[in-house]
Structure 1
Amino acid sequence: MTTIRAARAADFEAIGELCVRAYAEAGNLPADDIDYATELRNAADRAAKAELLVAVDDDAVLGTVTVARPGGVYAEIARPGEVEFRMLAVAPEAAGRGIGAALVGAVLDRARQEDAKQVVLCVSEVATAAQRLYRRLGFEPMPERDWLPVPNFRLTAHRLPLF
Structure 2
Amino acid sequence: MLRDFRSTDAEAIVRVALAAFAEFEPHYSDWPLFTTHVAKMPELSKAGEIIVAEESGEIVGAVAYVGPQAPKPAFFDPAWPVIRMLVVDPAARGKGIGRQLTEECVRRAERDQSPVIALHTTTIMTVALPMYLRMGFVRVRDAPDILGVPYAVYAKSLA
Deviation at 1:59, TM superposition (A): 1.9
Structure 1 residue 49 corresponds to structure 2 residue 24: no
Please give the per-residue CA displacement for 1:95-132, whole angstroms capped at 9, x wherever unaligned. 11000000001000000011101010110121111111
Please give the per-residue CA displacement for 1:26-73, whole angstroms capped at 9, x wherever unaligned. 558627232331222123312223211110112201111011135544
In structure 2, the residue matched to 1:9 is 7
In structure 2, the residue matched to 1:66 is 64
Q: Structure 2 residue aligned with 1:117, among 115, 118, 122?
A: 115
Structure 1 range deviating more: 5-14 or 148-157: 148-157
Q: What is the CA–CA distance in structure 1 between the aligned matches of 2:60 and 2:75, rounded to whole Å?
A: 26
Structure 1 residue 156 corresponds to structure 2 residue 152: yes
Residue type at the aligned position of 1:83: P
2:45 partner SS: helix
1:81–1:117 CA contact under 8 A, matched in 2: no
Q: What is the CA–CA distance in structure 1 between the aligned matches of 2:85 and 2:47, rounded to whole Å?
A: 14
Q: TM-score, normalised by structure 1?
A: 0.87
Structure 1 stretches of 5 or more lacking a match? none
Identity of aligned residues (%): 25
1:96 partner SS: coil
1:91–1:150: structure 2 CA closer, same or farther, 3 Å change rule?
A: closer
Q: TM-score, normalised by structure 2?
A: 0.89
Structure 1 range deviating more: 131-140 or 106-115: 131-140
2:127 partner SS: helix
Structure 1 residue 147 corresponds to structure 2 residue 115: no
CA RMSD in angstroms comes to 2.0
In structure 2, the residue matched to 1:78 is 76
2:118–2:155 CA contact under 8 A, matched in 1: yes
1:66 partner SS: strand
1:70–1:33: structure 2 CA closer, same or farther, 3 Å change rule?
A: farther
Q: What is the CA–CA distance in structure 2 between the aligned matches of 1:11 and 1:152, rounded to whole Å?
A: 31
Q: How many equivalent residue pairs?
A: 159
